[in-house]
Amino acid sequence: MNSIQVQKHTTLIKQKARELGFESCGVSKAEFLEEEAPRLETWLKEKMQGEMAYMANHFDKRLDPRLLVDGAKSVVSLLYNYFPKEDLAKGNGQKQNPEEESYKISKYAYGRDYHFVIKDKLKALFEFIQEEIGEVGGRVFVDSAPVMDKAWANKSGLGWIGKHSNLINRQVGSFFFIAELIIDLELTPDAPIKDYCGTCTRCVDACPTDAIVEPYVVDGSRCISYFTIELKEEIPTTVKGQFENWIFGCDICQDVCPWNRFSKPHQEPLFEPHPDLRNMRKQDWEEITEEVFRELFRKSAVKRTKLKGLKRNIRFVSSPE
DSSP string, 182-211: EESS--PPPPP-----TT--HHHHH-TT--
Q: Tell me: the pLDDT tens digits for 44-60?
A: 566 555 555 545 555 66
CA 174 to CA 169: how far, in whole Å? 6
pLDDT at 91 over 80: no
pLDDT at 249 over 90: yes
Q: Tell me: the pLDDT tens digits for 103-150?
A: 999 999 999 999 999 999 999 999 999 999 999 999 999 887 668 889
pLDDT at 286 over 60: yes
Supply the pLDDT for residue 92: 45
Q: What is the mean pLDDT of residues 197-205?
A: 97
Within a 10 A sphere around the Cβ of 146, how many other Cβ atoms? Answer: 17
When mean pLDDT is compared across 21-30, 84-93, 219-228, 303-312, the lowest value belongs to 84-93
Supply the pLDDT for residue 89: 85
User: What's the pLDDT band for 240 if we cut at 50, 70, 90?
Assistant: very high
Are 133 and 185 in contact, with CB atoms under 8 Å apart?
Answer: yes
User: What's the pLDDT band for 28 if we cut at 50, 70, 90?
Assistant: very high
Residues of the chain above pLDDT 70, percent: 88
Closest alpha carbon to 122 in 20, 6, 39, 239: 20
Within a 10 A sphere around the Cβ of 318, how many other Cβ atoms? Answer: 13
Selected residue with higher pLDDT from 266 and 147: 266
**Domain assignments of the chain as residue spans, ordered by start:** 1-321
Q: What is the mean pLDDT of residues 256-275?
A: 95
Supply the pLDDT for residue 94: 46
Q: How far apart are the first and last CA of the chain?
A: 65
User: What's the pLDDT band for 93 if we cut at 50, 70, 90?
Assistant: very low
User: What's the pLDDT band for 34 if we cut at 50, 70, 90?
Assistant: confident
Supply the pLDDT for residue 148: 84
CA 229 to CA 249: how far, in whole Å? 7
What is the DSSP pairing of strand 217-218 with strand 212-214? antiparallel
- Dihedral sign for Cα atoms in the order 245, 249, 255, 256: positive
Cβ neighbours of residue 181 closer than 8 Å, sequence gap 6 or more: 75, 76, 78, 122, 125, 126, 129, 138, 139, 140, 141
Are 147 and 68 in contact, with CB atoms under 8 Å apart?
Answer: yes
pLDDT at 95 over 50: no
Q: What is the mean pLDDT of residues 201-224?
A: 94
CA 163 to CA 201: how far, in whole Å? 7
Q: What is the mean pLDDT of residues 221-235?
A: 92
Supply the pLDDT for residue 99: 56
Q: Output the average pLDDT for the chain.
A: 89
Distance of CA 305 to CAs 106, 163, 252, 311, Å? 13, 28, 20, 9
DSSP string, 259-283: GGGG------GGGSPPHHHHT--HH
User: What's the pLDDT band for 321 if we cut at 50, 70, 90?
Assistant: low
Long-range own/partner contacts, residues 269-276 (CB < 8 A, 24 or more apart):
270/111, 270/112, 270/117, 271/82, 271/84, 271/110, 271/111, 271/112, 271/114, 271/117, 272/110, 272/111, 273/84, 273/88, 273/110, 273/111, 274/300
Catalytic residues: 143
pLDDT at 245 over 90: yes
Q: Compute CA 211 distance to the chain's CA centroid, rounded to the nearest angstrom.
A: 17
Supply the pLDDT for residue 319: 79
